[in-house]
Amino acid sequence: MGYPESVLAKDEHVVVHRHPHWGRLFLPAVILIVATAAAAFVAGYINTLHWQTSAKNIVFLVIAAVWLIIIGWLSVWPFFNWWTTHFVITDRRVMFRHGVLTRSGIDIPLARINSVEFRHGLMDRILRTGTLIIESASQDPLEFHDIPRVERVHSLLYHEVFDTLGTEESPS
């Protein structure tokens, strides 16, 4: 999915568009599977009991309600949060947008970036993710966590910054 063209300036082009690493969705997926299996098991057990049909139906509704709450809170919400989080590098700026109901974001012009760093531990290296740290001229360093292929993004951002500045340090 490309980033919406409506937020880009005239003649601005997207260089990189990333959602957070898919690893953020691992635990919500496990919760979805376990909660569904548990709800099915309990509903199956209740179905074997010799209760009145109306009592069974009430228990089934309670099981379904609890399942929906758990899945909505611990699986669907994290997925929407992941889906609506965007890390975008264009040929003019770095944009970060996040939030489902309340959106927030930051734009950093490439010309204002002083340094670009990345950090990733052993597990991050295995999963090919990490933290990108951007220091701009007027702010404390900003950390963007769970950026997929963080080394490649770091390199692309570094090249874009120096191409924008047009200095002798440009690596091209």
Total domains in the chain come to 2
- Residues 101 and 152 occupy one common structural domain: yes
DSSP code of 5? G
pLDDT of residue 20: 96
pLDDT of residue 3: 64
For residues 16 and 142, the answer to whether their CB atoms sit within 8 Å is: no
What CATH number does the domain containing 96 carry?
2.30.29.30
Is 5 within a domain? no
pLDDT of residue 126: 93
Q: In which domain, by residue range, is 64 found? A: 26-81
- Residues 95 and 155 occupy one common structural domain: yes
Query: Could you write out the DSSP letters of every residue in 70-104?
Result: HHIIIIIHHHHHHHT-EEEEESSEEEEEE-SSS-E
Is 35 within a domain? yes
pLDDT of residue 167: 52
pLDDT along the chain (172 residues), means of 10: 72 91 96 98 95 95 97 96 93 92 90 91 93 86 93 92 65 48
* pTM for the full predicted model: 0.82
pLDDT of residue 2: 54
